[in-house]
Amino acid sequence: MDNSKREYRMGLIAGAGTSAIWGILPVYRRWIDAIDSWVIIVYRIFLAGVLCFFLALKSFGMEGIKAPLREKGVMLRYFISGLLVTVNWSTYIWAVNAGHVIEASIGYYIEPLVVSLFGVVIFKERMNGIKKLGVGLVLCAVLAMMIHFQKPPMISLTLAISFAAYTAVKKKYSMSPALSLFYETMFLIPVTFGVILYLEGTGKGAFSMIEAPYQYVLLLFSGVVTAVPLLTLAYAAARIKFVTLGISQYISPTLTLLIGIFLFREPFDLVQFAAVVLIWIGIIFFTAGEMKDTGESVFSQEEDVL
């Protein structure tokens, strides 16, 4: 196997592995569910930011970290993207701890299609008829859930829209994931550090909530759990087709959905099942439209690798 094929195969493994890690994260969250969601969020922001700072420092040095911030508008853009990703993280963590894993998984099914809609509305990109059909089917699924539950699926929509907006804000900038995530959290690192000190000092933090020492150890890994998949995703994105990478990302909500149904035994009625089926049909059409736009078979290079 030549080097290019080896690199492509490693990219496929990294892409699928990243999505699998994200898909099983609800299990990790449940292991530390004795800790309040908002305390987990504070720790996650602080630890992820600090970890990414040291990774960026090792790769680029202090001058390399500071240089991009001198560009006009960069700090504001990353401040906004940091707020959006914090909303996304916070909603996801709360949803898992509150027993809404299935609705969270549906949000991440919808998110790539919302990204496409943002592309049309904000960036004036064109969407072919097949992709329009795919998006229309997903919108029908969301409408069906709204009618059935007599309310919007707020968790799903919040996760999908916040991450799509996060993607739109970052569209202009191509940057190392470690450096990017540090910029997104650097405004909150001192705030969250102060909050952690206050909570633990007054007996209201994670130490007062844990039921066993291992839970605090797992909490300290929340920064690693946040940063490492972003790094492996960037590794994959540099080596495989974007369409292939996009399809691999559906591994994540599928695993999360199965965990919610079979492991956590969350309610999953016929209407939800029908909505998920409709979403999957929409995804198939959407992916077919994406492949038509690229003019390539998504599996052509993979067949050469196998």
Asked if residue 240 lies in contact with residue 304, where contact means CB atoms within 8 angstroms, the answer is no
Q: What is the mean pLDDT of the chain?
A: 87
Alpha carbon dihedral 99, 101, 107, 112, in 10-degree steps, equals: 160
**For 153-203, how does the pLDDT look when each residue is reduced to its tens digit (9 = 90+)?**
999 999 999 988 888 887 767 778 889 889 999 999 999 999 999 999 999
Share of the chain above pLDDT 70, in %: 94
Asked if residue 43 lies in contact with residue 229, where contact means CB atoms within 8 angstroms, the answer is no
Asked if residue 105 lies in contact with residue 157, where contact means CB atoms within 8 angstroms, the answer is no
User: What's the DSSP call for residue 260?
Assistant: I
What CA–CA distance (Å, rounded) separates 111 from 104? 11
Please tell me the pTM assigned to this model: 0.87
Average pLDDT over residues 51-80: 91
Average pLDDT over residues 112-125: 80
- State yes or no: pLDDT of 291 exceeds 80: no
Write out the two tokens for 104.
């969270």
Identify which of 128, 122, 145, 123 has the alpha carbon closest to the alpha carbon of residue 285. Answer: 128
Asked if residue 27 lies in contact with residue 264, where contact means CB atoms within 8 angstroms, the answer is no
pLDDT at position 171 is 73
pLDDT at position 186 is 93
pLDDT at position 305 is 45
**For 232-248, how does the pLDDT look when each residue is reduced to its tens digit (9 = 90+)?**
888 888 788 766 777 78
Identify which of 139, 133, 124, 226 has the alpha carbon closest to the alpha carbon of residue 185. Answer: 226
- Give me the domain span that covers residue 85: 3-305
The residue ranking higher by pLDDT, 104 or 167, is 104
The number of folded domains in the chain is 1
pLDDT at position 1 is 54
Predicted confidence band of residue 295 (pLDDT cuts 50, 70, 90): low
What CA–CA distance (Å, rounded) separates 111 from 179? 24
What CA–CA distance (Å, rounded) separates 52 from 36? 24
